[in-house]
Amino acid sequence: MIKPVVAFSFFLCLFLCFACGHDEESSVTIPENILNEEQFTALLTDFALAEGAAGMNVKQVPPAKFDSVYAFDPVSDNKVRRSQYDSTLAFYSLHPKLYKKIYENVLENLSRMQTSRNTQTATPGSK
């Protein structure tokens, strides 16, 4: 079990590392093999939707058969190579401010989709 003092020290050091860093994020050039903000946002949005659909078990499938029924693969669906996805994930992990902006974009996309869905279901006569 981690002692509270050790955990506090770890998070304090982590916070200081990010807080004291200068704003190099605005001048970062995204390498050619890395997905840009729009592409990575689309991919992560699809991951969130796939995870949500699989978690809902909309077809009432026994857990042992999930793989055959829910064949979601956001990487190939977005025409991205697995190695490119891995490199992109590593790149943005090293640039947390850029990564945070992408996640904010993903949340906006999901919120927009939810609002659109709620509007469609609330409209009389819509299917």
What is residue 10's predicted lDDT score, i.e. its pLDDT? Answer: 55
What is residue 119's predicted lDDT score, i.e. its pLDDT? Answer: 83
- Contact call for residues 44 and 103 (beta carbons, < 8 A): yes
CA 5, 6, 12, 16 torsion: positive or negative?
Answer: positive
Q: Comparing C-alpha atoms, which of 84, 72, 76 is closest to residue 48?
A: 72
What integer is the mean pLDDT of 42-52? 90
Residue 67 token pair = 């793989």
What is residue 120's predicted lDDT score, i.e. its pLDDT? Answer: 80
What integer is the mean pLDDT of 29-57? 88
What is residue 73's predicted lDDT score, i.e. its pLDDT? Answer: 85
Distance (Å, whole) CA 42 – CA 48: 10
Mean pLDDT score of the chain: 79
* pTM: predicted TM-score of the whole model, two decimal places: 0.66
Q: Percentage of the chain surpassing pLDDT 90?
A: 43
Higher pLDDT, 72 or 22: 72
> Nearest 10 degrees: CA dihedral of 92, 98, 104, 106?
-40
What is residue 117's predicted lDDT score, i.e. its pLDDT? Answer: 81
What integer is the mean pLDDT of 42-50? 92
What is residue 12's predicted lDDT score, i.e. its pLDDT? Answer: 52
